[in-house]
A and B are shown apart, each in its own frame.
Chain A
């Protein structure tokens, strides 16, 4: 136990846990995006998929059992990720009490410089998103029908500023994923070269684009009337 608490006390250990929890969240956003593509197959398919998520694993597990396990794992990952990020950020902010009058940014990407506030935006968005399409709170979704996922998504996104919130959040997530996925290799000690075109950067670019474009397509498809 003391080994584990020492490990967590170190910044290198915290970063490793951020990387592992980040992989869990990355896996989630990838599968979540792929699942949502059923929007393009119409109401029956999408609603059946949502129902399947609740039934998968039964009868071994109770109804919604696997879903709750997944939710628990995700909640733990979010908790670890945010806790470590906050602690590291506070520590790093103390490392230079006297700021430079002038400091150029040389290699640091836009994505790397927006991890902290980008993370906060994503966190707030996740709460909004759950209230909007999972819990269907009337103060965020005035036309929510439990179980009719297709209807809830389409009627939600038809309001332009709701789609706007989703679009901004997906762009923020795309940047976060780009730097996060690349960082994860570094934090876990996987390298082959620091050439900017190496496979770690490629991997991060490809998956950040796939997830961002996939997620952006949903509000855009509704706004343009492609999906109604």
Chain B
């Protein structure tokens, strides 16, 4: 495949960034998007240029490290797929592809396509846990949980914290991420004692960094795990219940 890539290059946080155009003559449809960047980086290194910085780890769609805007979509054109699991067969020969980092005031660019997603950790630190001394692993069937509830909690727990929801949201809101992290605990018996305090702390922390939700539903459309905005409604309800 022949491809033209416009890639955002930025030396560091303070530097002025710009798009640089690269042509690739030898891309294979079997490559993942990150492998395409790997090959491009090889060529850049051979030419003595600085390779493009991008984040990745598992390359299996489970760690949440990867993620860039590809032609105006977080994680690119394939629904329910993280950038590392997107393959070049989804693109046409000769296609022009624009690659941009997540853009949010809360996610400053560190270098090229790498952004600092620390505010997500801050939100989890504010309450995304259960305060008990865990000890050894308890017997799994000690607390019976109905199957549909367990499934729902797992749907929320699927969130890998990649930041695509913030990236796509016209308001730069982190509601889907926070709602997922709130809900997977709020649905389970272990999460009940701190349920109200948790949602208030996490929402307050979220709002100190991000914009807020106006129900555009763009987040749901790009979430690689297909997390539903139903969880945002759940979070709102818990927050309101705790405030009134």
In the complex, are the beta carbons of B103 and A100 less than 8 A apart? Answer: yes
In the complex, are the beta carbons of A92 and B236 less than 8 A apart? Answer: no
In the complex, are the beta carbons of A92 and B100 less than 8 A apart? Answer: no
Q: Is A207 an interface position by the 8 A CB rule? A: no
CA distance A94 to B211 in the complex (A): 8
Closest chain A residue to B17, Cβ basis: A98
Interface size class of A (residues with CB under 8 A): 35 or more
Interface size class of B (residues with CB under 8 A): 35 or more
Known A88-B212, A107-B218, A186-B236; contact A96-B104, beta-carbon cutoff 8 A: yes
What 1/0 mask marks residues of chain A from 182 to 206 whose CB sits below 8 Å from any chain B CB? 1101111111011000000000000
Give every chain B residue within 8 A of A63 (Cβ-Cβ).
Answer: none
Interfacial residues of chain A within 84-101, with CB under 8 A of chain B in the complex: 88, 91-92, 94-101
What 1/0 mask marks residues of chain B from 204 to 244 whose CB sits below 8 Å from any chain A CB? 10010011111111101110000011101111111111011
In the complex, are the beta carbons of A91 and B211 less than 8 A apart? Answer: yes
Q: Is B73 an interface position by the 8 A CB rule? A: yes
In the complex, are the beta carbons of A189 and B211 less than 8 A apart? Answer: no
A7-15, A36-44, A125-133, A138-146: which one contacts chain B? Answer: A7-15
Partner of A191, one of B98, B103, B233, B239: B233
In the complex, are the beta carbons of B100 and A101 less than 8 A apart? Answer: yes
Known A99-B103, A190-B233; contact A92-B240, beta-carbon cutoff 8 A: no
In the complex, are the beta carbons of B71 and A104 less than 8 A apart? Answer: yes
Q: Tell me how far the C-beta of B87 lies from the nearest C-beta in chain A, rounded to whole angstroms.
A: 20
Interfacial residues of chain B within 36-89, with CB under 8 A of chain A in the complex: 69, 71-73
CA distance A194 to B172 in the complex (A): 21
Partner of B214, one of A16, A96, A183: A183
What 1/0 mask marks residues of chain A from 99 to 126 whose CB sits below 8 Å from any chain B CB? 1111111111000110100000000000
Give every chain A residue within 8 A of B238 (Cβ-Cβ).
Answer: 189
Known A6-B243, A10-B204, A16-B236; contact A102-B100, beta-carbon cutoff 8 A: yes
In the complex, are the beta carbons of A97 and B230 less than 8 A apart? Answer: no
What 1/0 mask marks residues of chain A from 160 to 202 whose CB sits below 8 Å from any chain B CB? 0000000000000000000100110111111101100000000
Known A107-B220, A108-B218; contact A96-B71, beta-carbon cutoff 8 A: no
Partner of A107, one of B172, B217, B236: B217
Q: Is A225 an interface position by the 8 A CB rule? A: no
Known A95-B105, A96-B104, A102-B71; contact A107-B233, beta-carbon cutoff 8 A: no
Partner of A189, one of B69, B98, B214, B240: B240
In the complex, are the beta carbons of B105 and A91 less than 8 A apart? Answer: no
In the complex, are the beta carbons of B103 and A108 less than 8 A apart? Answer: no
In the complex, are the beta carbons of A12 and B216 less than 8 A apart? Answer: no
Known A102-B69, A102-B100, A189-B236; contact A15-B212, beta-carbon cutoff 8 A: yes
Give every chain A residue within 8 A of B173 (Cβ-Cβ).
Answer: 92, 95
Known A16-B236, A92-B171, A189-B234; contact A104-B216, beta-carbon cutoff 8 A: no
Q: Is A3 an interface position by the 8 A CB rule? A: yes
In the complex, are the beta carbons of B172 and A92 less than 8 A apart? Answer: yes
Closest chain B residue to A184, Cβ basis: B215
CA distance A201 to B73 in the complex (A): 25
Which of B73, B235, B236, B237 counts the most A-chain CB atoms under 10 A from its CB? B236
CA distance A100 to B218 in the complex (A): 15
In the complex, are the beta carbons of A191 and B240 less than 8 A apart? Answer: no
Instruction: List 10 tightest A-B contacts by C-beta distance, closest first.
Output: A189-B237, A95-B211, A95-B172, A11-B212, A108-B216, A191-B233, A104-B72, A92-B171, A102-B72, A106-B221
B-contacting residues of A (Cβ < 8 Å)? Answer: 3, 6-7, 10-16, 88, 91-92, 94-108, 112-113, 115, 179, 182-183, 185-191, 193-194
- Contacts A92-B172, A194-B228 known; 19 new A-B pairs at CB < 8 A: A7-B243, A12-B207, A15-B236, A91-B211, A92-B171, A92-B173, A95-B106, A96-B211, A97-B105, A100-B100, A101-B98, A101-B100, A104-B71, A112-B216, A186-B229, A186-B232, A189-B233, A194-B217, A194-B229
